[in-house]
Structure 1
Amino acid sequence: MTPNDDASSNTAMPPSRFRLAIDGNVFGWASGVSATAEALDAFHAAGGRLISTADHYAGGRSEIMIGNWVRSRKARSRVFLATKIGRHPDAPGLSADDIVTATEASLERLQTDHLDLLSFDGDHPHTPLEESLAAAAELIASGKVRALAASSYSGARLRDAGRLADENGLPRFRAVFSPYSLMTRRPVESDLLPAVRTLNIGIFARLPLANGFLTGEYRVRSDVPESTMFADAAAHVGRDGFRVLKALEQVSAEQNTSLAACALAWVRSKPNVIAPVVRAASAEQVAELVASADLVLEPHQLMALDRASE
């Protein structure tokens, strides 16, 4: 589904007027109970709706924290809950049994009777796609799932899934989650974008700040925190990364805003992108990110960033 489709439908993606989603990856890990609640409060107060998580994040604690927050704030009707399944130790695949088991467990942890968006997390080629899609069809028919998406799928597998869905009357993927940033353009633009255009679906851009590198805080490898969450940021320290940061600095000076805001605006400008999915472990980080949600870069600024990140 594309970013401009009607959000009133049960299978629609969230509205594009607020073009930012929060990533539950840090909840229960880098962010404790209080910090998670404060981050979600700040996100919701700023108009944020889409909360994205996965059943294996922090061993399920991410979903539990989000579920507790939704219940305590009585916010279920005002948020769009998306989770991924396929990697939790109790349901580590995408067989029909695993899908049902994982979905029921996610519903319990999130304290809800339905998921707005359920994603297959990673390709599991040992399980026929028809089996996985048929299991999802039953969950959609029961009302427990509103729409289906994929995460970390290749363009070829997305096309396979679309063909099989059409041939067998099964649900199509409505979106795909994929890392996409100024530092990770090639896999998306050479493989994924052509497929999503053909299928007329949208992309949720994960890691749009390249694990924090595009904030400009990490200039040498010793600056990068010793955490697996930031490991990939260190990989961008070098000539290519510095070229992108230099272009971001110029654009941010012209816009009088942060490097991160400009990096997110670049992602949002790309075709078929529904929203960047950002990590924020505190209310302060949320405030910095949501302040950038309406930033639109000038054509010459987008071109400068395109050239620097080629």
Structure 2
Amino acid sequence: MTTTIGSLTVGPRCLGTNVFGRSVDAAGAARILDAFVDGGGDHVDTAALYGGTLSESYIGQWGKRDGVVIATKIGWPDDANHPGLQPATMRAAVDGCLQRLGTDRIDLLYTHHDDETVTVPEIIDTLDELVRAGKVREIAASNLSPERLTESLEYSASNGKAAYVALQPHYSLMSRDTYEGPLAAVAEKFDLAVFPYFSLAMGFLTGKHRPGVTADSVRAGGVAQYVDSDRGRKVLAALDAIAAATGAELATIALAWLGSRKQVAAPIASARKLDQLPALLAAPSLHLTQPHLDALTAASA
């Protein structure tokens, strides 16, 4: 069960590493990466921004990049080193990523956030230059409007430039309108592979955050918006019922639902501890019946 995106082939498991350098140190990151690969994972997602650049550095120190597809992101507006997508900034940002990752090429490079002060041709031309230089294999987009995404893809097609092959949107059972609708229509029209972030709603969909329960999590504050919401209660009830019927963990079920959605190649999920990995790795193997999928879709509407 693999997806071909341009010159790359990836499996249905993608490890998010936004916790590296924040709540996971270098040794812990290496253990998690080893366990992820041993469990069948082959796609690691990071960003220049994560952990104040430490996430990329930890992956570079791990040193086993040839066994995985490495995706990273540049251009976050608040990046202390290389904010935005001005051409010179993008070039410098990519060189920094390569150095930290300890590699000569980035498999999949995302623009982390749009920069509307820069024209689409300037952005795509610079990305194309990086691909032609061999520093980047494929390009992708995150946090981009349907309009700018369409303009970018059409510009690439009309001018023979490198084109976005993947999209990384905010998408989960708790956040469907951030992807479904116009953005999903563009992804389908141009056959983009979709890799959702916040796929477990900052940990809420693991079931450890419930009314009256205080969970140990660096994102506990962000999860509060879901805990007492009507959608949150309905989604947890549906997940609990399916867990009782299948024996699967809630996180596994939530990721399996997301993996069943059109264009989704792999949900991105992170782990701070080794014992969190099995639930993430198991998702592609979990068969949810159509009634299970329908129940989750209805609960999250």
| Bin of the TM-score, shorter chain as denominator length | over 0.9
- Aligned residue among 189, 210, 226 for 1:236: 226
Q: Specify the alignment match of 2:68 in structure 1.
A: 79
Partner amino acid for 2:10? P
Listed as ranges, the matches of 1:54-133 within 5 Å are: 54-69=47-62, 71=63, 75-87=64-76, 88-133=79-124
- 1:125 Cα offset (Å): 0.4
Alpha-carbon separation, structure 2, partners of 1:300 and 1:247: 11
Moved more, 131-140 or 283-292: 283-292
Q: TM-score, normalised by structure 1?
A: 0.92
Alpha-carbon separation, structure 2, partners of 1:26 and 1:76: 19
Q: 1:221 to 1:187 in 2, by over 3 A?
A: farther
Partner amino acid for 1:193? A
Contact 2:120 2:148 (8 Å CA) reproduced: no
Q: May I ask how many residue pairs the two structures share in their alignment?
A: 298
Partner amino acid for 2:52? G
* Secondary structure of the structure 2 residue equivalent to 1:90: coil
- 1:294 Cα offset (Å): 1.1
Alpha-carbon separation, structure 1, partners of 2:108 and 2:9: 10
Q: Specify the alignment match of 2:244 in structure 1.
A: 253
Partner amino acid for 1:296? H
State the identity %.
34
* Secondary structure of the structure 2 residue equivalent to 1:179: coil
Q: Specify the alignment match of 2:13 in structure 1.
A: 20
Moved more, 285-294 or 123-132: 285-294
Partner amino acid for 2:225? A
Question: Deviation per CA, 1:9-62, whole angstroms, max 9, x where unpaired?
Answer: xx334333xx11001100011111221111111001112110100001111000
- 1:179 Cα offset (Å): 1.5
Contact 1:40 1:283 (8 Å CA) reproduced: no
Listed as ranges, the matches of 1:174-193 within 5 Å are: 174-193=165-184
Q: TM-score, normalised by structure 2?
A: 0.94
Q: Which runs of 5+ in 1 are unaligned?
A: none
User: Are 2:185 and 1:194 equivalent residues in the alignment?
Assistant: yes
* Secondary structure of the structure 1 residue equivalent to 2:156: helix
Alpha-carbon separation, structure 2, partners of 1:133 and 1:258: 41
Alpha-carbon separation, structure 1, partners of 2:175 and 2:197: 10
* Secondary structure of the structure 2 residue equivalent to 1:103: helix
Q: 1:208 to 1:169 in 2, by over 3 A?
A: same
Alpha-carbon separation, structure 2, partners of 1:5 and 1:47: 15
Partner amino acid for 2:224? A
Alpha-carbon separation, structure 2, partners of 1:263 and 1:197: 22
Partner amino acid for 2:145? S
Alpha-carbon separation, structure 1, partners of 2:4 and 2:158: 26
Alpha-carbon separation, structure 1, partners of 2:214 and 2:231: 17
Q: Which runs of 5+ in 2 are unaligned?
A: none
Partner amino acid for 1:53? T
Partner amino acid for 1:84? K
- 1:169 Cα offset (Å): 2.2
